[in-house]
Amino acid sequence: MTVNELLRELHRLHLKIHDLREEAERAPRRLRAAQAKIDAAAKVLQDHLEAIKRLKINIHQKETTIKEHEAKIERYQSQMKAITKDKEYQALRHEIENERMAIAVHEDQILDLMLQVEQKQAQTPALEGEVQKAKAEYAKVEAEVGGRRDELYAQLAQAEAELKQIEQHLNGDLRKAYERLVKAHGGAEALCELRDGYCSGCQTQATLQQRLDAAANRIVLCNSCGKLLYLSTG
Ligand SMILES: [Zn+2]
C-alpha cells in the first residue's frame, strides 16, 4: 500500500466513523424534539379545556345569583300580600322591578358566556388532532431510529475494526505524524486531500516540491494547517 493509498483509506474510514457517530447522536435529539412537540400541543389543549371549565363555572355562579334574586322577588311578593299602605306597596314593587332588571343583566351575560363555550368547544377536536398528529410523528421517528439502531452500530463496529487494521500499515515518521494529528484534531480532521494542488482543509496552495513529494508517496504536511496531505489518485 502506497502512502497515498494508505492515507486515503484512513481518511475515508475516519469520515465514515464520524458520520455514523453523528447519526447515532442525532437519534436521541430527534426523539426529544418529537416529544417536545407532543408536550407543546398537549399544553395548548389543556389550557383550552381549562378555559372552557372556567367559563362554565362562571355560568353556574351567575345561575346561582339569578336564583337568589328570584328568591328575593318571591319574598317581596308574599310581603306585598300583607301590606295595606300604598306607599309601602309601591316601594316593594320598585324593589321587585330592580331584582328583575338584575336578573335580565345576568341572563344576557349567561347567553354571552354560553356562546363563548360553544365557540371554544368547536375548536377542541382540532386541538386534540394536533396532539394525535404529534404522537404519530413521534412514533414514526421512534420506528425509524429503532429500525436503524442495530444496523448503525454494526456499521460503526465494522468501520472501527477496518480502521484498526489499516492503521497497522503505518510506520515510522508517518505513524508519528498521523497519531499526533489524530490526537489533536480527531481522525476526520487529521488528514486532508491535496486537490488540484490545494489543501482541502484550509485551501492553501502546496509548493511544487510538496506536490512532487506527494506524487512520490513521501510524507507531506500542509504548510498552513499542518495536516497530512494525500493525493486522491495516483
Ligand atoms: Zn491545510
Annotate the chain with DSSP letters as a single string: --HHHHHHHHHHHHHHHHHHHHHHHHHHHHHHHHHHHHHHHHHHHHHHHHHHHHHHHHHHHHHHHHHHHHHHHHHHHHHHHH---HHHHHHHHHHHHHHHHHHHHHHHHHHHHHHHHHHHHHHHHHHHHHHHHHHHHHHHHHHHHHHHHHHHHHHHHHHHHHHHHHHTT--HHHHHHHHHHHHHH-HHHHEEEEETTEETTT-PBPPHHHHHHHHTT---B-TTT--EEE-S--
The string of pLDDT tens digits covering residues 18-56 is 999 999 999 999 999 999 999 999 999 999 999 999 999
Q: How far is the CA of 158 from the centre of ligand 1 (A)?
A: 29
Q: How far is the CA of 187 from the centre of ligand 1 (A)?
A: 15
Q: How far is the CA of 91 from the centre of ligand 1 (A)?
A: 101
| Domains of the chain, each with CATH number or no CATH | 22-167 (1.10.287.1490), 170-234 (no CATH)
Lowest-confidence region among 43-57, 86-100, 112-126 = 86-100
Task: Please indicate, yes or no, whether the overall pTM of this predicted structure exceeds 0.75.
Answer: no
The string of pLDDT tens digits covering residues 203-221 is 999 999 999 999 999 999 9
The string of pLDDT tens digits covering residues 150-198 is 999 999 999 999 999 999 999 999 999 999 999 999 999 999 999 999 9
